[in-house]
Structure 1
Amino acid sequence: MNIRLTAAALAASVALAAGSAAATDLEVTHWWTSGGEAAAVAELAKAFDATGNKWVDGAIAGSGGTARPIMISRITGGDPMGATQFNHGRQAEELVQAGLMRDLTDVATAENWKEIVRPSSLLDSCTIDGKIYCAPVNIHSWQWLWLSNAAFKTAGVDVPKNWDEFVAAAPALEKAGIVPLAVGGQPWQASGAFDVLMLAIGGKDTFLKVFGDKDEAAAAGPEIAKVFKAADDARRMSKGTNVQDWNQATNMVITGKAGGQIMGDWAQGEFQIAGKKAGEDYTCLPGLGVTEVIATGGDAFYFPLLKDEEKSKAQAVLASTLLNPATQVAFNLKKGSLPVRGDVDLNTANDCMKKGLDILAKGEVVQWTDQLLSADSQKQKEDLFSEFFANPSMTPEDAQKRFVDIIASAD
């Protein structure tokens, strides 16, 4: 097979699982390295360490696009870690098919994951040929516009309530020396922003027709042309961002140097670390204030097959710990994401998290592109939109034609 490189006490089930295994170190790789992310991952480490085992942190700086090839190379090269983060979806599909990943069905069955994980599509994304290969830890939705209240006050305009108002406010922001839209230079940021625009402006049905059904006629149609017009507006408004990492772009919003950012709810962790309060210092618009639908993407942990019996036992303990109710609450409150369990108490959630919970409760959800497209198709899309945002001479029409070709060959 060719692998493409493209706090509360733990539940009794965790304690019992820990008791059945000798304490051991377990290396866990991930790409959570920003301030907010580090605070969140520390909650996972603390929970696992409480079982008597030891979380050995294997953070890889950069992003998923940087980290995933390194993780995959280690696994395929015979140097597997104890557990590794991927996004929900198809990123580990070929590793599973190559027989390199551990089957977690026994843990999932013993702890009734099919009943507690909501929505069920999260666990479906972990399931290949009827077996469960990952432990989902959160629901991360990309569909947010984060706005600096201070920036709009400085510009003398009201905080926008939707995307159109945001675009209309851009000239006032620019006149005040403020970048309207912060977009970092990593390819996944531009690609993700486009996907958010497609869901918000094109609507749920169009989004699923293009990315789910791989309908090239829909991709070439007038609804997607409107999305490319919006992407062109976003490109124009992002001129002058001049940062690379997503959290640097978020910091521009936090400090009032940018009016807004299209970014997933993980941005909340950065606002929290900076001491900013939702509804007062910043405003969040789910679905860009246009289409209040959120994706059920996010993060999951996979467990490579290991020869060491004690480390294999520790893997089962970690998988159990990740879905423990106390761990779910502690981690997701710091991460800014929503828990994968529908039975946990989030009364302390901030205004933005509550908006996400309300949308989730209404069932206004959709699978994200990581779940609908292969890693190769995602990479092609990232390359296109990285070039589109960096090259003003590429017209929306030319970009749409290239997009149609990607969808036509997508798997």
Structure 2
Amino acid sequence: MKVRAIMAALCATGLMLGVSAAQAGESVEVLHWWTSGGESKAIGVLKDDMTKQGYTWKDFAVAGGAGAAAMTALKTQVISGNAPSAAQIKGPLIKEWADQDVLVNIDSVAKEQDWKKNLPPQIDKIMQADGHYVAAPFSVHRVNWLYINKAALDKAGGKVPTNWDEFFKLADKMKADGIMPIAMGGQPWQDFTVWEDVVLSQGPAFYKKAIVDLDQKTLTSPQMVQVFDTVRKLTTYFDSARTGRDWNLATAMVINGKAGMQFMGDWAKGEFANANKKAGTDYVCAPVPGTDKAYTFNVDSFVFFQQKGQKAATPGQIALAKTIMSPDFQKQFSLYKGSIPVRLGVDMSSFDDCAKKSYADEQTAIKAGGYVPSLAHGMAQGDATAGAMSDVVTKFMNSKESSQDAVAALAKAAMTK
């Protein structure tokens, strides 16, 4: 359901009550879902920076990798008149909140730091609503990554797969070696991430038509049936205990050598770093087979809510936005988070090989037209459409439904508004 529909329904019950507890220039309440090890260290950098500037940080952390629980909590807070100073929101949902006239703009910060020059055009546009900046971006995550335990890879022959045939041969070798081939969690957004990776492996042009344009001909094509066939084969390499498993627990399985590979965005790299594992030595990060020239981006950002009915940003909100886009913070946050800075031109010399490759591939993809928004992570479509499509994928991956039936259901789901 869209934000406006939920707000209208709750407002009708008379839940518009108090005012925000956050005091301008004194207390900054921040709602987010960064609760894993690497994520906590990353958000801790922002907390420390704001504390040093004299602001009191009020942490409103809601567990859940995809942020669904956090979004539910946020809606409740806004409706009850207790909107946080800032909240982690991204993609089309930014404009949906702006349309409710509950956000403040941070144009002064964007102008001072020249965001238009220092952000990729595709991302700069997402941070705005009706010509005003209402969100500050943290970092860029590449979603189409494959993580491989280095010892398991070496034992299976040492060749990193570049296409699906090579991938399945590697998975079979790992299985023969007594290693679970794919570490997989059991949440809908994780299912959706894997499916999206396979869509991208068909090429950026196919991805754009299917995911961004929601083209019915593409969604019902034989090529989309092939996508579901590949996903079905992937599920045969999952373990039966994955139900309800969080993404970071699946990452830990690769870290500990209990599983060979994981499909996950580069926030997983923060978990490897937190476990003192080194890229190239303990694990390998590679583009998902068939996606080396493409880049699905997932951009974390904060939007800023009106406080006490004020239409203008508070000093604390201005300081928060300015800190987020400062080069030093961008660098340190991403080093902990596993991402790369969203701000262009930040020094990458202290980043690991995976991050350096991510940055290089990002620049190439931007120029070549392969830089595309992630559907599974809230960047490509609104909640209603993405949710309906996600339901189709999760049903398929947890049943014996045919690929043809799934494709028909997907095309119907894509028309959900």
TM-score (norm 1): 0.90
1:44 matched to 2:46: yes
Residue 367 (structure 1) aligned with residue 373 (structure 2): yes
Is 1:217 aligned with 2:223? no
Give distance in 2, aligned partners of 1:311 and 1:218: 44
Structure 1 residues 4 and 374, CA, compared in 2 at 3 Å: closer, same or farther? Answer: farther
Native 8 Å contact 1:144 1:286 kept in 2: yes
Equivalent residue for 1:79?
82
Read off the aligned partner of 1:278 and give its amino acid letter. A
Which residue is equivalent to 1:333? Answer: 335
Q: Which residue of 1 aligns with 2:196?
A: 195
Distance 1:225 1:238 in 2: 21
Hey, what does 2:94 align to over in structure 1? Answer: 92
Deviation at 1:308, TM superposition (A): 7.7
Q: How does 1:141-160 map to 2 (within 5 A)?
A: 141-154=142-155, 156-160=156-160
Residue deviations 1:185-215, cap 9 Å, x none?
1110101111111112x11001101122210
Residue 405 of structure 1 is aligned with which of 399, 402, 412?
412
Q: Is the 8 A contact 2:392 2:413 kept in 1?
A: no
- Deviations for 1:86-120, whole angstroms, at most 9, x for unmatched residues? 23x11233221111111222321232211112x12
**2:35 aligned partner, one-letter code:** T
- Residues 109/44 of structure 1: CA separation in 2 closer, same or farther (3 Å cut): same
Q: Does 1:385 align with 2:393?
A: yes
1:395 and 1:61 map into 2 onto residues whose CA distance is 34
Q: Are 1:286 and 1:356, in contact at CA under 8 Å, matched by a contact in 2? A: no
Residue 302 of structure 1 corresponds to which residue in structure 2? 303
- How many residue pairs align between the two structures? 390
SS at match of 1:366: strand
CA distance in 2, matches of 1:388, 1:177: 27
Q: Which residue of 2 aligns with 1:396?
A: 403
Amino acid at match of 1:265: D
Matched residue type, 1:140: H
Residue deviations 1:103-158, cap 9 Å, x none?
222321232211112x121121121211111001111111101111122345x433
The equivalent of 2:204 in structure 1 is 204
Aligned-pair identity in percent equals 31
Deviation at 1:268, TM superposition (A): 0.4
- In the TM superposition, residue 296 of structure 1 has moved relative to its aligned partner by 2.9
Structure 2 regions of 5+ residues with no counterpart? 9-22
Partner of 1:16: none
**Gaps (5+ residues) in structure 1?**
6-20
Contact 1:148 1:258 in 2 (8 A): yes
Distance 2:111 2:234 in 1: 45
CA separation of 1:359 and 1:247: change in aligned 2, threshold 3 A: same
CA deviations on 1:331-371 (whole Å, 9 max, x unpaired) are: 01111111111121110111111111111222242222223
Match of 1:8? none
- SS of residue paired to 1:291: coil
Q: Is the 8 A contact 2:28 2:57 kept in 1?
A: yes
| Contact 1:183–1:241 under 8 Å retained in 2 | no
What corresponds to 1:353 in structure 2?
355
Q: CA deviation at 1:410?
A: 4.4
Q: Is the 8 A contact 1:139 1:340 kept in 2?
A: yes
Contact 2:175 2:181 in 1 (8 A): yes
CA contact 1:29–1:59 (8 Å) conserved in 2? yes
Instruction: Give, in angstroms, the shift of residue 163 of structure 1.
Output: 4.1
Contact 1:269–1:334 (8 Å) recurs in 2? yes
TM-score after normalising by structure 2: 0.88
Equivalent residue letter for 1:395: S
TM-aligned CA distance change 1:184 to 1:22, over 3 Å: closer
Helix, strand or coil at the partner of 1:139: strand
Aligned-pair distance for 1:22?
A: 7.5
Q: Residue 162 of structure 1: CA displacement?
A: 2.1
Give the distance between the partners of 2:6 and 2:111, measured in 1 at CA: 29
> What SS does the aligned partner of 2:139 have?
coil
- Whether the 8 Å contact between 2:340 and 2:359 is mirrored in structure 1 is yes
